Structure 1
Amino acid sequence: MKTLIFSIVITLLFSTQFFSQQNPERGFQGYQNPNKLISLSSNISFSQAIKLISKVSEKVTGKKIISTVQIDSATGIELNRMNYFQAMVILVKMANLVYEVKPDAIIIKKPALSKKEMKGNNYVSVNAREVKISAVFFESDVNKAKERGIDWQTIFSSQGLKFGGQLGILPQTTTGNGTQVTGTTGGTSSNGTTSNNTQQQSPSFKIGGSASYSLGGLFGKAIAIFKLFESENIGQIISNPSITVLNGTEARLQDGQDLAIKQRDFSGNILEKFYSIGSIITVTPHVFHEDGINYILLNIHVERSSFVPNPNNTIINKTSANTRVVLLNGEETVIGGMFINQNTVIRTGVPILKDLPWWFFGLRYIFGSNQTNVIKKELVILIKATLVPTLKERLAGPQLKNPIRDQIRKYQNDIKYYHFNQSNSNKN
């Protein structure tokens, strides 16, 4: 009987020590070792508090407390002569973190995501697809293009993309009687008679014609043509943004500004509401795989808007378009035909006299006048969609490439190619 009682006492003693080691939070009642006590101010940050608690833990148990989360905000709670471990537990729970006790250290970390949270916006699979959206905003002067005889075409058809099929200066043919016929290439004049003609043709700019299938061949060549147009003052590249977006996520590219308009609410308070104006494009890619083919469905919304000053009310001119396009990896699509008129007022007349004030005998109205010039501009947007390798594909085959260097070399080769074509057209 004595042996049985002794065995029960020994078992209870070891079990008490075991459970106190498994859950150190239960051992805080009763006497506390002064070396284990710590006091913390409410103004100290979470990271600094953990560092102080870690020093006490190293002295007492030899275990270092490591926090994988950096929090610089104040704890907001004052701890006075509290056990270091209990203080750590309180701070960890207030920060919505968890801790893990290991043989040589205590690790503070974020809690693992549940299955419900992993299905939300906070989780991305290793097989998730990303799409690189590259765009070029080109604004051309319609009046200057007509003066040069440039016919800018952006035509979509079922056979593919025909981009600028007739892009260049139309030839001028001089007939025997001195009459010029624009656009004729043979020896027949406008009245049907045949004569010996001399043809003068300035250099034409070509962009590749039409193709039933093109995989990534238009983007760099179009940029080279846009650069050439810039040098001729026919237009300018407004921007050339590039963004990588997750499958099914909306990407928004804007070249412009946000206009603040003051409004009053029902209480009479003045509020500012912002409106985005300029060239805005919103793209949402959806990646699909079917019959061994990866293809991309793009939901595209394009908007061109401008602000018109008006003393009475606010006017925002807006032109928008919505479309859905299916592209293969590396293919492009072009959106054009978005026009905008810019009115410019120029004062013309006799110098000095045209700029006199109105009260000076009204001479400014006699020797000068205001002339309004309307500049018509067209916005052409080129969009390219490229699939980015998944995380598994990147780990399986790391590619030691420099994308910036490769892109610069590609553009340089495209420019050389078109300069070569231009020189050949001059010789012909």
Structure 2
Amino acid sequence: MKNLLIISLIFVSLSFAQSQRGFQKMLSSSPEELVSLSGSMPFNQAMQMLSKMSKQFINKIIVLSEDITDPIGIDIIQMNWYRALLLILKYNNLEYAETDEYIKVLPRKAERPPIPEALRGVDLNTREVNISAVFFELDVAKSREIGLNWKWLLSSTDMDIAGQLGQVDNNIFNLNPQQTTEQNKTFNLGLYSQKQIGDFIGRATALFNFFEQNQLGEVIASPQVTVRDRVRGEIQVGADFSTREKDFAGNTVERFYSTGTIIRVTPYVFEEDGKNYILIELEAERSNAIPGQISTEIKKTKAKTDVLLVDGEETVIGGLYITEEKTERSGIPILKDLPWWVFGIRYLTGFDKKTYSKKELIIVLKAKLVPPLKERFTSRKKNLNLIEKTREQFQNEIKIYQMNPVEEK
């Protein structure tokens, strides 16, 4: 009995000593043991930093059972490294096992992830909205040279949009009626009336094709995305660039920024008197990144609005301008491109010329309700081929939107 009591006291004293050692590690405020981490730092990088400190102070390394690249999610400001380790593990619902040689971060328990808040309440009657867009970039200078106004052309409904643009009578500058003159260049638009072209997006597509054929601009993209009711969707045509920044703790982090043509839409579907209509929170952005010697400049043009549309209706966003700067080398061929150390000939035979071109981004947006799941289940029971049906629909739209150029006289 006495031996059992002695053994129990030994175990209690060892446990108390171990807990006291951990308590001292957590309360240590030595400057060498303090650490600051950003909440956006990846988990594996944070563990590497803490592992070096653990090896230095208690001669133990930190071992990961799995590679976790998610951010730690919590900011650590001037905290003891051991306490920071426990706080990060607890925040990410992770457990650890400590031995005499290492501290092992145990793998996450396999559990069913919770349903996000945005996905709750989804049923067979949930509506979806198909958002289709056409991004067109118009050369402002060239369009003004021939007197084109896309706003007027798209707003015309009952009248002919244009027969021939830029056509001049052959004899207007001819003093001698017997002489022949060269015929001026004409722009054949070939749009006669709204009935021939179809709906609004059809007229816009045909008009953009005309602009593209006459080198007045180009269609950048024609994306489509299906968005659930009251859920935000995003369309981006561009690129992401990264910059190295320092957070509040002085750590160097790499952050990415989105540039290009970006549209963010959030549809809200309403039904009243048996008619469906859509409220769209719309945000359009045109931006590009210009790297500099000190920092990177982002030139941005942004528009934000709320639009009410009926099923299948379209809207137009314009006025998003951007100025592109290009540097061209002009002069005597071959000699203007010689290196500077060849007697400076490149400076005598050539020069750098900067050109500026102003572009306007025109966005045509169309919102169309997608049939609910109940109707789609019924269609599947009827063995309807969705691919063939969609192909026929596209072919019919191509026939409707096909341009008919006016024959030159």
Are 2:309 and 1:327 equivalent residues in the alignment? yes
Residue in structure 1 matching 2:136, options 135, 138, 146: 138
Tell me by how many angstroms 1:207 deviates: 5.3
Say whether the 8 Å CA contact 1:341–1:377 is kept in structure 2.
Answer: yes
Aligned partner of 1:61 in structure 2 is none
Are 2:160 and 1:169 equivalent residues in the alignment? no
| Aligned residues between the structures | 293
Aligned partner of 2:189 in structure 1 is 205
- Taking a change above 3 Å as real, the CA distance of residues 391 and 366 of structure 1, as seen in their structure-2 partners, is same
- Taking a change above 3 Å as real, the CA distance of residues 257 and 96 of structure 1, as seen in their structure-2 partners, is closer
- Taking a change above 3 Å as real, the CA distance of residues 294 and 207 of structure 1, as seen in their structure-2 partners, is farther
Are 2:374 and 1:392 equivalent residues in the alignment? yes
Say whether the 8 Å CA contact 1:156–1:162 is kept in structure 2.
Answer: no
Tell me by how many angstroms 1:396 deviates: 4.1
Q: Any unmatched runs of 5+ in structure 2? A: 1-64, 66-94, 96-108, 176-181
Determine the C-alpha separation between the residues in 2 that align with 1:311 and 1:209: 54
Matches within 5 A, 1:314-353: 314-353=296-335
- Taking a change above 3 Å as real, the CA distance of residues 303 and 411 of structure 1, as seen in their structure-2 partners, is same
- Taking a change above 3 Å as real, the CA distance of residues 427 and 348 of structure 1, as seen in their structure-2 partners, is closer
Aligned partner of 2:354 in structure 1 is 372
Tell me by how many angstroms 1:390 deviates: 1.1
Q: Which has the higher contact order (CA 8 A, sep 6+)?
A: 2
Determine the C-alpha separation between the residues in 2 that align with 1:279 and 1:415: 25
Q: Any unmatched runs of 5+ in structure 1? A: 1-42, 44-75, 77-93, 98-109, 180-197
Matches within 5 A, 1:264-283: 264-283=246-265
Determine the C-alpha separation between the residues in 2 that align with 1:177 and 1:241: 48
Determine the C-alpha separation between the residues in 2 that align with 1:284 and 1:229: 31
Tell me by how many angstroms 1:325 deviates: 1.2
Say whether the 8 Å CA contact 1:168–1:205 is kept in structure 2.
Answer: yes
SS in 2 for 1:289: strand
Tell me by how many angstroms 1:373 deviates: 1.4
Aligned partner of 1:219 in structure 2 is 201
Identity percentage of aligned residues:
38
Matches within 5 A, 1:75-90: none
Aligned partner of 1:311 in structure 2 is 293
Determine the C-alpha separation between the residues in 1 that align with 2:122 and 2:310: 24
Aligned partner of 2:5 in structure 1 is none
Aligned partner of 1:363 in structure 2 is 345
Say whether the 8 Å CA contact 2:323–2:358 is kept in structure 1.
Answer: yes
User: Which amino acid counterpart does residue 285 of structure 2 have in structure 1?
Assistant: E
- Taking a change above 3 Å as real, the CA distance of residues 163 and 347 of structure 1, as seen in their structure-2 partners, is farther
Cα RMSD after superposing both structures: 3.7
Are 2:401 and 1:426 equivalent residues in the alignment? no
- Taking a change above 3 Å as real, the CA distance of residues 120 and 144 of structure 1, as seen in their structure-2 partners, is closer
Say whether the 8 Å CA contact 2:132–2:222 is kept in structure 1.
Answer: yes
Tell me by how many angstroms 1:314 deviates: 1.1
Determine the C-alpha separation between the residues in 1 that align with 2:284 and 2:198: 22
Aligned partner of 1:296 in structure 2 is 278
Are 2:124 and 1:126 equivalent residues in the alignment? yes
Residue in structure 2 matching 1:259, options 236, 241, 251: 241
Q: Deviations over 1:199-256 (max 9, x none)?
A: 9782431557789xxx981223433443343333322221111111111111100000
Tell me by how many angstroms 1:169 deviates: 2.1
- Taking a change above 3 Å as real, the CA distance of residues 203 and 348 of structure 1, as seen in their structure-2 partners, is closer
TM-score, normalising length: structure 1: 0.59
* CA radius of gyration, larger in: 1
SS in 1 for 2:407: helix
Determine the C-alpha separation between the residues in 2 that align with 1:407 and 1:126: 25
Q: Deviations over 1:18-69 (max 9, x none)?
A: xxxxxxxxxxxxxxxxxxxxxxxxx9xxxxxxxxxxxxxxxxxxxxxxxxxx
